[in-house]
């Protein structure tokens, strides 16, 4: 839209460090950095560079399935055309039954985790094939962040959590609990998931959880032993498709979905 910010920045701070933003940015980099390590293993399976994965991913995703190889090699999967992690989210919105009127794009704020998230950014990634939305936990002291990748069709293909909440969940989200539990219990065979689970349970640090793509019940949690941040990505493929495509909510607010 307008580019006020640019002007403002130019005028206010040429170097953009009035409030310490630059500092912030620098700090933030650290977080994602950890994640990189986490994600690396996934692609590592390929034996290539972690970062490359993302780029290549775009191509793979094209085929409807990306191969996010898992570190354990167990769940690799994939984002099918109908992948969508926010199953819970959808459920949340659906029950209310506002269907029909406005698309379920309303601000739910509560995600499958049961926490309140605020969107702070959105970006086209992977050759613009995917829309990545950035969310931050709205809790005062909570710095947990999460990224949602979705296709233009509105299908969530990937959800990544950075950090862990050390505060109670939103009161209005019963599903969240079940969801999380499912993740942990559903994958007992995953050595990594065990670790991740363990850490996530014990450590309240900023652990990015990455939900990996798998069936609705399958969720793999990847975590790096060294880094606190765990990445948990859950992708539920197939499914959500049940919703009428027409009523599909825009990818814009996955959590609101």
Partner DNA sequence: AGGCTTTGACCATGT
Partner DNA sequence: GACATGGTCAAAGCC
Residue 15: partners with Cβ closer than 8 Å, 6 or more residues away:
22
Strand ranges in 25-129 using DSSP code E only, listed in sequence order: 117-125
Q: Which stretch binds DNA (CB under 7 A): 59-67, 82-90, 131-139, 165-173?
A: 131-139
Which position among 98, 121, 178, 245 is part of the footprint of DNA (CB under 7 A)?
121
Q: Binding of DNA at residue 31 (CB under 7 A)?
A: yes
Cβ contact 126:61 at 8 Å: yes
Nearer to DNA, 94 or 134 (CB): 134
Q: Binding of DNA at residue 243 (CB under 7 A)?
A: no
Radius of gyration over every alpha carbon of the chain, rounded to an integer in angstroms: 18
Q: Binding of DNA at residue 252 (CB under 7 A)?
A: yes
Q: Which stretch binds DNA (CB under 7 A): 70-78, 121-129, 170-178, 182-190?
A: 121-129
Main-chain phi, psi angles of 220, to 5 degrees: -110, 140
Q: Which stretch binds DNA (CB under 7 A): 67-75, 99-107, 168-176, 182-190?
A: 99-107
Q: Least distance in Å: CB of 121 to DNA? A: 3
Whole-angstrom CA distances from 183 to 43, 80, 142 are 21, 19, 22
* Residue 137 token pair: 């936990």
Which position among 59, 63, 73, 120 is part of the footprint of DNA (CB under 7 A)?
120
Cβ contact 230:133 at 8 Å: no
Which of 257, 232, 253 is CA-nearest to residue 243? Answer: 257
User: What is the rounded CA–CA span in Å between residue 123 and residue 52?
Assistant: 19
Binding residues (CB under 7 A) for DNA: these are: 1-6, 8-9, 15-16, 19, 21-22, 24-26, 28-29, 31-33, 35-36, 49-52, 54-55, 58, 105-107, 109, 116-127, 132-134, 136, 138, 145, 147, 162, 250, 252-253, 255-256
């Amino acid at each position: 839209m307008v580019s006020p910010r640019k002007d403002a920045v130019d005028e206010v701070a040429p170097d953009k460090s009035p409030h310490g933003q630059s500092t912030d940015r620098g700090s933030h980099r650290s977080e994602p950095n950890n994640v990189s390590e986490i994600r690396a293993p996934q692609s590592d399976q390929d034996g290539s560079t972690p970062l490359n994965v993302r780029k290549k991913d775009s191509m793979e995703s094209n085929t409807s399935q990306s191969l996010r190889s898992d570190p354990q090699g167990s769940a690799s999967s994939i984002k099918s055309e109908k992948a969508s992690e926010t199953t819970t989210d959808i459920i949340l919105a659906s029950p209310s039954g506002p269907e029909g009127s406005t698309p379920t794009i309303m601000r739910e704020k509560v995600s499958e985790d049961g926490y309140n998230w605020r969107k702070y950014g959105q970006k086209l990634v992977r050759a613009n094939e995917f829309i990545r939305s950035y969310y931050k936990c709205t809790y005062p002291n909570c710095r947990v962040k999460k990224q949602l990748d979705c296709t233009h069709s509105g299908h969530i293909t990937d959800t990544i959590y950075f950090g862990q909440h050390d505060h109670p969940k939103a009161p209005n989200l019963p599903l969240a609990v079940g969801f999380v539990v499912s993740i942990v219990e559903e994958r007992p065979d995953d050595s990594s998931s065990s670790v991740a689970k363990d850490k996530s349970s014990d450590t309240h640090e900023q652990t990015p959880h990455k939900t990996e793509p798998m069936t609705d019940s399958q969720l793999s949690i990847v975590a790096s032993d060294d880094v606190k941040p765990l990445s948990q990505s859950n992708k539920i493929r197939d499914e959500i498709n049940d919703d009428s495509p027409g009523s599909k909510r825009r990818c814009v607010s996955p959590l609101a979905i």
